[in-house]
């Protein structure tokens, strides 16, 4: 990567960080161009070419993702969800949400992909979803740490993506993953610890702005999940609270992780595919 491209990548990371920090405020193209230190005309073209989507598309996607989390995991009124997502009316929010998620907000709250896991949790149904168990080798990862709500780890993911690109370590085979260290039902949201990460070779140099994480070898239970990231909380509750007690395994002290098999940039939320890995050990 030449110096000019590295400079533009750094500017893209600054803009991405600004977006994540200000999703619930009014953001204009001039605000972003100021962060990038470029004219709005040039910045918009460069950002679209390097990120694969327009700034407006990125902003809408991130705001609707946060709205989906509130619909699936809180009782916040839909009008307030729409307001926080920076929509001028509930009708406009409903149209945009339906286009992105395939359901109106009220229908999504009642029957999104989280609903099947909620039902399985309520009935203690350990057979409703397929889980496989296998041994994994130890893996070295390059990572960017994240503190706070797990759903907002995409800010760290964007920083990792940019760092890998600058270091010329980004290929079509690059795996994007996330490691989670705390239980969100026990630890305050602002104290949750996680890391966006990607497996790398043992002799690879770490890109600037990243750290090393070594995921230990061991047994992992894998749940294949399809659907919006916002709906994962109930999938986790089913995996930990229903499947695990009936599985013949016990939880390990190793952290769990997720592997993302496609990208929200070019995939509808309902078609996102992720593998959820739960660290386990045989009952002694």
Query: Is 117 within the bounds of a domain?
Result: no
- Decide if pLDDT at 5 tops 70: no
Q: Are residues 211 and 139 in the same domain?
A: yes
Q: Are residues 91 and 10 in the same domain?
A: yes
pLDDT category at 165 given cuts 50, 70, 90 is confident
**Average pLDDT of the residues in 190-203:** 94
Query: Is 11 within the bounds of a domain?
Result: yes
pLDDT category at 44 given cuts 50, 70, 90 is low
- Decide if pLDDT at 42 tops 70: no
- Decide if pLDDT at 213 tops 70: yes
Non-local (6+) Cβ contacts of 176 within 8 A are 157, 160, 161, 196, 198, 259, 260, 263
pLDDT category at 265 given cuts 50, 70, 90 is confident
Q: Are residues 27 and 137 in the same domain?
A: no
Looking at per-residue confidence, does 50 or 265 come out higher?
265
- Decide if pLDDT at 46 tops 90: no
Q: Are residues 189 and 154 in the same domain?
A: yes
Cα separations in angstroms, 13 against 98, 163, 166, 209, 281:
29, 9, 11, 11, 39
Query: Is 103 within the bounds of a domain?
Result: yes
**Average pLDDT of the residues in 155-170:** 85
Q: Return the CATH number at 140.
A: 3.20.80.10
Q: Are residues 135 and 256 in the same domain?
A: yes
- Decide if pLDDT at 50 tops 70: no
Range of the domain at 259: 131-282
Q: How crowded is residue 233: how many other Cβ atoms within 10 Å of its Cβ? A: 19
Which of 6-10, 174-178, 206-210, 220-224 shows the lowest mean pLDDT across its residues? 6-10
Cα separations in angstroms, 283 against 54, 215, 248, 252:
51, 22, 6, 10
**Average pLDDT of the residues in 81-90:** 94
Q: Which of 46, 80, 110 is the last residue of a domain?
A: 110
Q: Are residues 145 and 70 in the same domain?
A: no
3-state secondary structure 26-43: CCCHHHHHHHHCCCHHHH
Which pLDDT does position 17 carry in this prediction?
75
**Number of independent structural domains in the chain:** 2
- Decide if pLDDT at 177 tops 90: yes
Query: Is 115 within the bounds of a domain?
Result: no
Query: Is 84 within the bounds of a domain?
Result: yes
Per-residue b or e along 160-169, where b marks 16 or more CB atoms closer than 10 Å to that residue's CB: bbbbbbbbeb
The answer to whether residues 73 and 230 touch, using CB atoms and an 8 Å cutoff, is yes
Non-local (6+) Cβ contacts of 198 within 8 A are 141, 142, 143, 160, 164, 169, 174, 175, 176, 177
Query: Is 231 within the bounds of a domain?
Result: yes
Which run of H or of E encompasses 135?
strand 131-136
Helix orientation angle between 90-101 and 55-73, rounded to the nearest 10 degrees: 90
What share of the chain has pLDDT > 90, as a percent? 58
Q: What does pLDDT average to over the chain? A: 87
Which pLDDT does position 8 carry in this prediction?
61
The answer to whether residues 107 and 188 touch, using CB atoms and an 8 Å cutoff, is no
Q: Which of 64, 79, 110 is the last residue of a domain?
A: 110
Which pLDDT does position 215 carry in this prediction?
93
Query: Is 74 within the bounds of a domain?
Result: yes
Q: Are residues 145 and 253 in the same domain?
A: yes
Interatomic CA distance for residues 273 and 80, integer angstroms: 29
* pTM of the full structure: 0.83
């Amino acid at each position: 990567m030449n110096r000019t491209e590295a400079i533009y990548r750094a500017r893209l990371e600054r803009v991405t960080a600004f977006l994540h920090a200000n999703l619930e405020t009014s953001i204009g193209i001039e605000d972003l161009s100021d962060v990038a230190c470029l004219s709005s005309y040039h910045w918009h073209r460069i950002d679209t070419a390097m990120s694969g989507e327009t700034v407006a598309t990125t902003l809408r996607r991130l705001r609707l993702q946060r709205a989906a989390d509130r619909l699936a995991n809180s009782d916040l009124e839909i009008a307030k969800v729409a307001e926080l997502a920076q929509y001028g009316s509930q009708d406009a929010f409903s149209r945009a949400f339906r286009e992105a998620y395939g359901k109106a907000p009220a229908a999504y709250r009642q029957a999104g992909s989280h609903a099947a896991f909620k039902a399985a949790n309520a009935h203690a149904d350990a057979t409703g979803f397929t889980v496989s168990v296998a041994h994994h080798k130890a893996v070295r990862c390059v990572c960017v740490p994240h503190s706070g709500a797990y759903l907002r780890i995409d800010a760290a993911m964007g920083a990792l993506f940019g760092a890998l690109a600058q270091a010329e370590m980004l290929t079509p085979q690059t795996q994007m993953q996330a490691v989670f260290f705390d239980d969100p039902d026990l630890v305050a949201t602002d104290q949750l610890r996680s890391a966006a990460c990607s497996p790398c070779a043992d002799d690879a140099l770490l890109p600037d702005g990243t750290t090393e994480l070594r995921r230990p070898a061991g047994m992992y239970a894998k749940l294949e999940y399809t659907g919006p990231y916002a709906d994962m909380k109930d999938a986790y509750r089913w995996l930990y609270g229903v499947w695990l007690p009936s599985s013949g395994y016990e939880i390990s002290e190793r952290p769990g992780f997720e592997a993302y098999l496609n990208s929200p940039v070019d995939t509808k939320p309902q078609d996102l595919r992720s593998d959820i890995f739960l660290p386990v050990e045989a009952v002694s």
